[in-house]
Structure 1
């Protein structure tokens, strides 16, 4: 979905808290991973916790 007013409000609140120009919020981890895979370039780094979901871990290792 796009244009969700609740999500838009959340993003607008999060950005200044993180001292960022923008923030993104997603309905699912899959949506977040897909978006990040398009936004990141070769050589960029991802920081994550060591006990991340197994499917996410495999995704990161194979990108």
Structure 2
């Protein structure tokens, strides 16, 4: 259940500020980051599997 304390831990950040180890809400923990001129790939650990998710550089994401 969400409460005020849980919500205060959430932050909206540009995708370019994501670091390995951050937890992207609704996706999972970031284990690798690949940056390209036209996109940023986050490799997310989800259900003990790695998933590559591609983002445009101007994307904002919610992390905790």
Q: Whose strand fraction is larger, Structure 1's or Structure 2's?
A: 2
Q: Whose helix fraction is larger, Structure 1's or Structure 2's?
A: 1
Query: Which gives a bigger RCO, structure 1 or 2 (Cα 8 Å, sep 6+)?
Result: 2
TM-score range normalised by the length of the shorter chain: under 0.3
Which of the pair has more CA radius of gyration? 1
With the length of structure 2 as denominator, give the TM-score of the two structures: 0.24
